[in-house]
Chain A
């Protein structure tokens, strides 16, 4: 069960739905999750919104057999670090057979349920990845 507050999820909702991050025009670095200030350029940085197409590569992964509360119904599932084509890395579930996973696997984004606050609470949607 995810126990995140509704407003907290909602504030980052568009980033989770559509992989919207940011881009620094000064040093040409991309950020996901979005950063409001470029950590390299600081006040010289010029940050703008950027929508990633979501194509990337699996940097590393683990197979979860003993899941946290709310995810018991999904085991075994894969949790991985995905590097997007533009550079940023993010942690995500990788949908698919754990036996088919390997480092360097090309992945693409899909829209899935990320979790829910029990039977009565909100359902959280967002991006996961599948083998491309």
Chain B
């Protein structure tokens, strides 16, 4: 029995700040940063947007794209590390706002940048076992980076939602298999009550990102007997442009394979939305029969790999909701002062 993506939806706020504007405030060299990070600008939210509002917009887009009856949704899981409440689920807000309540299970997920893909895996299990008809898995974040910290150059805002199901005729993409690689690696964390996360600097690279991404990816390909050449596209968690490019080359994927999903240079790192946004951007242009390999990474740390095959159904639903490229178009550029105001970095008396 197949399981896969029935629909998907993305949301990106319209505001952008250029790396040059952030570097100017902190006296950093923008050219070195842009070359090193392969990120040129990042999204940030409007004054009245947060993880819940972006999760709702993405979820509504997913429901509308395939004209789904939201009452069929039996589970809503929202992955984020910036849930608006410490205690009170974001997922109940989403469930109510898409019209899926009251007969469903809901919970919020947290696993740094891969909470959204963990939600996809949970939904895959629930639909495969027959416990639910459709599952809604979301990754959304208003990513936090302390003023002046390296993270501030990339921490962005966005949300992506996937409706997971198992009725063959409804699947726009079949998820052939998934494989996770998880260890206790403290490369990035945020303590209770703290406004910004801490990270291990370079420690987030080799023992964090690369170890978990490559092991999850290799593990999945070994498990199902595929190799990089079997795939038309590949997506890797994109905290910056450099990491996914290097992971792709370490694993044997080409620059062409990762190109459609590599949205980070114009978007920044949407944390829980990062890899899922790359998959959405790839689905926006994939043809029926195309195969997509995706690996998400979450600090703490773990990697979730997915092998996906696009079906004919993609052509029927694709144009019913905004594509990632359309959401990236027509941005409103703002300076650091406006960015600081929107992000609540300026305290009012």
> Could you tell me which A residues sit within 8 Å of B by CB distance?
13-14, 17-18, 72-74, 93, 95, 110-114, 123, 125, 128
* A72 and B348 contact, Cβ closer than 8 Å, known pairs A123-B84, A123-B85: yes
Q: Within 8 Å CB of A110, what residues of B?
A: 53, 57
> In the complex the two chains form, is A111's CB within 8 Å of B348's CB?
no
> In the complex the two chains form, is A128's CB within 8 Å of B48's CB?
yes
* A74 and B47 contact, Cβ closer than 8 Å, known pairs A111-B53, A111-B60, A113-B53: yes
B50, B52, B96, B348: the one contacting A73 at CB < 8 Å is B348
> In the complex the two chains form, is B47's CB within 8 Å of A111's CB?
no
* A125 and B348 contact, Cβ closer than 8 Å, known pairs A95-B46, A111-B60, A113-B53: no
Q: Within 8 Å CB of B115, what residues of A?
A: none
Does B246 make an interface contact (CB < 8 A)?
A: no
> In the complex the two chains form, is B97's CB within 8 Å of A18's CB?
yes
Which residue of B is nearest A70, CB measured? B348
Assembly CA distance A112 to B51 (angstroms): 10
Does B235 make an interface contact (CB < 8 A)?
A: no
Assembly CA distance A110 to B60 (angstroms): 10
How does the 8 Å CB contact mask read for B47-64 relative to A, with 1 for contact and 0 for none? 111101100110010000
How does the 8 Å CB contact mask read for B72-98 relative to A, with 1 for contact and 0 for none? 000000000000110000000100110
Could you give 7 example pairs across A and B, Cβ below 8 Å? A17-B97, A18-B97, A18-B99, A95-B48, A111-B97, A114-B48, A123-B50
Assembly CA distance A109 to B93 (angstroms): 17
Does B24 make an interface contact (CB < 8 A)?
A: no
Query: Number of contacts between A and B (CB, 8 Å)?
Result: 43
Assembly CA distance A115 to B50 (angstroms): 12
Does B223 make an interface contact (CB < 8 A)?
A: no
* A125 and B57 contact, Cβ closer than 8 Å, known pairs A74-B48, A95-B46, A112-B48: no
A111, A112, A125, A128: most-surrounded residue (chain B CB, <10 A): A111
Does B190 make an interface contact (CB < 8 A)?
A: no
> Could you tell me which B residues sit within 8 Å of A by CB distance?
46-50, 52-53, 56-57, 60, 84-85, 93, 96-97, 99, 341, 344, 348
> In the complex the two chains form, is B48's CB within 8 Å of A113's CB?
yes
> In the complex the two chains form, is B47's CB within 8 Å of A125's CB?
no
Assembly CA distance A14 to B93 (angstroms): 10
5 new A-B contacts at CB < 8 Å, known A110-B57, A111-B60, A113-B49: A18-B96, A18-B97, A93-B48, A111-B97, A113-B48
* A73 and B47 contact, Cβ closer than 8 Å, known pairs A111-B53, A111-B97: yes
Q: Within 8 Å CB of B96, what residues of A?
A: 13-14, 17-18
Q: Within 8 Å CB of A125, what residues of B?
A: 52-53, 56, 93, 97
A18, A72, A93, A113: most-surrounded residue (chain B CB, <10 A): A113
Assembly CA distance A110 to B46 (angstroms): 12
Least Cβ–Cβ distance between B29 and chain A, in angstroms: 32
Q: Within 8 Å CB of B85, what residues of A?
A: 123
Which residue of A is nearest B94, CB measured? A111
Assembly CA distance A112 to B60 (angstroms): 13
* A73 and B57 contact, Cβ closer than 8 Å, known pairs A123-B84, A123-B85, A125-B93: no
Q: Within 8 Å CB of B97, what residues of A?
A: 17-18, 111, 125
> In the complex the two chains form, is A111's CB within 8 Å of B99's CB?
no
Question: Which 6 residue pairs across A and B have the least CB separation, nearest first?
Answer: A111-B56, A112-B48, A113-B48, A17-B97, A74-B47, A111-B53
